[in-house]
Amino acid sequence: MESKDIIIEIHTEYIELQQLLKILNLISSGGQAKQFLNEYDVLVDDIKETRRGRKIYNGMKVKVDKKTYLIKKQ
């Protein structure tokens, strides 16, 4: 974990990318996820992701708008 990583805690096995974007207040509905992913670079473990239903698991990193989020399962 890098010191600049922002920890996002989840209580399930995974979180879908569109749910994460909503939690981060980057979109207001799941329907906006597809457009957001087409307009902005979202990286999951340093790979550009365009699937809104992408499952994000414990320990994975998501980068959006120069911020890195580390997913941690509680």
Cβ-contact 43, 17 below 8 angstroms: no
Q: Are strands 6-10 and 61-64 parallel, antiparallel or unpaired?
A: unpaired
Render pLDDT for 9-55 as a digit per residue (tens, 0 to 9): 999 999 999 999 999 999 998 889 999 999 999 999 999 999 999 99
Give domain 6-73's CATH superfamily: RNA-binding S4 domain (3.10.290.10)
Determine the Cα angle at 64 with ends 6 and 35, to 5°: 140
pTM exceeds cut of 0.75? yes
Residue whose C-alpha is closest to residue 69's, from 42, 38, 50, 49: 42
- For the chain, give every domain's residue range: 6-73
